Amino acid sequence: MEIERKWLVKEEDLPDDVKTYAGHRIEQGYLNPADEYLIRVRYNQSTQYPEKKFWKLEIKSKGLLSRDEWRYETTPENFEEIFRKCPKRISKTRYYMALDIYQLEIDFYDEYDFITIEIEFESLKQAEDFEAPVWFGEEVTMSPEYKNVNLAK
């Protein structure tokens, strides 16, 4: 089960050195964007250590705050074969930053001029109890237009 919340953040509200944090260059595609269970492939390459790469096949149920999720390692060849068939794709660079006990995932999208912060939580209670700092900006967890599958073109 994946439980996450998402916010829009202004670049000027982020730490000045955010792009020096550990991160990944991400390419992902959605094979069946309109179905109840999404099939997604994802390629990640470390921004700090370009030789560190991984490919995943993921299945996710639809949902906003929480949803079922399964992740499987795959090969570069399988990724490429599936990615070519994906009608919707998205590219972004993600940086990781700690905030208390939480890991922030800060996404800079290639085709959009906004930035998002996501946090994955261990339980619904933890997600509901979390009080976001004011600098996070507007929460968009319940706004389907900010889901990556809907941002993908």
Are 74 and 56 contacting, i.e. CB atoms less than 8 angstroms apart?
yes
Q: Which of 106, 141, 108 is nearest to 3 (CA)?
A: 141
> Domain range holding 42?
2-151
AA identity, residue 143: S
Residue 127: CA count within 13 A, CB half-sphere = 18
Alpha helices in the chain (DSSP H): 76-85, 124-129, 148-151
Structurally, the chain folds into a number of domains equal to 1
> Tens digit of pLDDT for each residue in 74-127?
999 999 999 999 999 999 999 999 999 999 999 999 999 999 999 999 999 999
Strand ranges, E, within the chain: 2-9, 23-30, 37-46, 53-61, 66-67, 69-73, 88-99, 102-109, 115-120
Query: What's the CATH code of the domain at 66?
Result: 2.40.320.10
Judged by DSSP in three states, 146 sits in helix
> Tens digit of pLDDT for each residue in 31-79?
998 899 999 999 999 999 999 999 999 999 989 999 999 999 999 999 9
AA identity, residue 71: R
Q: Which of 43, 59, 52 is nearest to 93 (CA)?
A: 43
Are 18 and 128 contacting, i.e. CB atoms less than 8 angstroms apart?
no
- Predicted pLDDT of residue 20: 92
- Predicted pLDDT of residue 68: 95
